C-alpha cells in the first residue's frame, strides 16, 4: 500500500462493533458513467452494521456520486447495491426509509424555520404527531439548536445550517447515516467530537449503533494511512481521527484498495 498511489481509490474501514453482523451496505461492481466517462468504476464494498466507513479519494474520484447512487438519487449504469438488505433499484422506498443523509451542499428550505424543516421531513417520512414532536426536540437538543428552532433558516449561519441538516438526517431513526463532507463544512462537528466525545448519534436508537458512511478528503483528514493504528476504535476515535488533530493508538482493521476509479471531470492526479 504505497503512498505514491494517491490517485487510487482507498477505502478504509474500521470495525467498531464485532458481533453478528447485518450487512448495512453491500455493492457489487457498481459503475456510473456520465457521457461515456466513468465516474464510478466497478466498486464492490461491504459495510457492516455498526461500522464507520470512510470513503477516501482525491477530487473527482466519485465519492459523492457513489453516495448519490446509494441514496437512490442516481441510477447506476451497471452493478447492484443493497442497503440494509434492500435493493437500491427495486426497493427504493425501503432504502430511502433506512437512510439519513447530509449532503455536501446545503439542502434546506431557508424560507422555513429550523423546526418547520424538521417537521416537513418528519411528515414526508410518515412519523406520527407524537413521535414528530418528541423527535424534533431530541434532535434539536442534540445539535444544540433548541433556541433557534423558530428562526428562519435564512438567518442561520453556515455552520448552524449544517447542524440542522445533521439533525434532519437523524430525524426518522435511520439505520444508516451518510455524511458527505460534513467535517469540512461544519467545524462544530469537530469541536463537539473533541470536547464531548462524539455527538451522541445513538439518541434513542436502542443499543444499536448506526453505521456511518462518510466522505472525507484525504487532505482534510490530514491522514496518513501508514501511521494509523487504532486498536479498539470507537466513534469518538474515528471522529478525532478524521479531524486530523489527534492520531491515537489505533489499528485499521482493513485497508482495502478498491478498483481504481478514474476521475470523472478531472485529469488523474499525478
Partner 1 sequence: MKSNNLQTIYVMWLREMKRFLRAKSRVISTLAMPFFFLVALGFGLKPSSSLPGMAQTKYLDFLVPGIIGMTMLFTSMFAGISVLWDKEFGFLKEILVAPVRRSVVVLGRIAGGITTALIQGILILIISLFMGFKILNPFGIILALLFMILIGIGFIGFGVAMASIMKDVQGFSSIMNLITFPIFLLSGALFPVTNLPNWLRPIILINPLTYGVDGLRASLIGFSQLSLFLDLAILLIFGLAMIILGSYLFSKTEV
- Which residues contact partner 1 (rule: CB under 8 A)? 68, 71-75, 92-94, 96-97, 99, 101, 103, 105-112, 116, 120-121, 123-126, 152, 168
Nearest CA to 255 among 233, 231, 226, 234? 226
Least distance from partner 1 to the Cβ atom of residue 124, Å: 4
Closer Cβ to partner 1, 74 or 238, answer by number: 74
Least distance from partner 1 to the Cβ atom of residue 73, Å: 6
CB 170, CB 203: distance < 8 Å: yes
C-alpha grid cell for residue 59?
A: 477530487
Closer Cβ to partner 1, 21 or 125, answer by number: 125
Nearest CA to 61 among 83, 29, 32? 32
Closer Cβ to partner 1, 94 or 236, answer by number: 94
Least distance from partner 1 to the Cβ atom of residue 171, Å: 11
Least distance from partner 1 to the Cβ atom of residue 228, Å: 32
Closer Cβ to partner 1, 12 or 108, answer by number: 108
Residues 189, 195, 200, 201, CA torsion sign: positive
Residue written as cell 488533530?
Answer: 245
Q: Report the alpha-carbon distance of residue 195 to residue 183 in Å, rounded.
A: 15
- CA dist 244 to 51, 158, 189, 221, Å? 20, 22, 13, 5
Closer Cβ to partner 1, 121 or 190, answer by number: 121
Q: Report the alpha-carbon distance of residue 184 to residue 216 in Å, rounded.
A: 8
Least distance from partner 1 to the Cβ atom of residue 153, Å: 10
Amino acid at each position: 500500500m504505497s503512498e505514491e498511489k494517491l490517485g487510487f481509490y482507498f477505502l478504509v474501514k474500521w470495525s467498531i462493533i464485532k458481533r453478528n453482523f447485518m450487512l448495512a451496505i453491500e455493492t457489487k461492481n457498481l459503475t456510473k458513467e456520465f457521457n461515456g466517462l466513468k465516474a464510478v468504476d466497478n466498486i464492490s464494498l461491504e459495510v457492516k452494521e455498526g461500522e464507520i466507513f470512510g470513503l477516501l479519494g482525491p477530487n473527482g474520484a466519485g465519492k459523492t456520486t457513489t453516495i448519490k447512487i446509494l441514496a437512490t438519487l442516481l441510477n447506476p449504469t451497471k452493478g447492484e447495491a443493497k442497503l440494509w438488505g434492500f435493493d437500491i433499484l427495486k426497493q427504493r422506498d425501503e432504502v430511502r426509509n433506512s437512510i439519513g443523509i447530509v449532503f455536501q451542499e446545503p439542502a434546506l428550505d431557508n424560507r422555513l424555520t429550523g423546526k418547520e424543516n424538521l417537521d416537513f421531513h418528519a411528515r414526508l417520512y410518515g412519523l406520527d404527531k407524537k413521535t414528530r414532536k418528541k423527535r424534533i426536540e431530541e434532535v434539536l437538543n442534540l445539535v444544540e439548536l433548541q433556541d433557534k428552532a423558530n428562526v428562519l433558516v435564512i438567518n442561520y449561519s453556515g455552520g448552524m445550517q449544517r447542524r440542522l441538516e445533521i439533525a434532519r438526517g437523524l430525524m426518522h431513526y435511520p439505520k444508516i447515516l451518510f455524511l458527505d463532507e460534513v467535517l469540512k463544512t461544519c467545524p462544530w462537528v469537530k469541536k463537539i467530537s473533541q470536547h464531548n466525545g462524539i455527538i451522541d448519534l445513538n439518541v434513542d436508537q436502542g443499543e444499536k449503533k448506526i453505521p456511518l458512511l462518510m466522505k472525507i478528503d484525504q487532505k482534510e483528514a490530514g491522514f496518513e494511512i501508514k501511521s494509523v493504528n487504532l486498536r479498539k476504535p470507537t466513534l469518538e476515535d474515528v471522529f478525532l481521527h478524521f479531524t486530523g488533530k489527534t492520531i491515537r493508538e489505533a489499528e485499521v482493521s482493513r485497508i482495502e484498495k478498491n478498483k481504481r476509479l478514474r476521475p470523472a471531470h478531472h485529469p488523474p492526479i499525478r
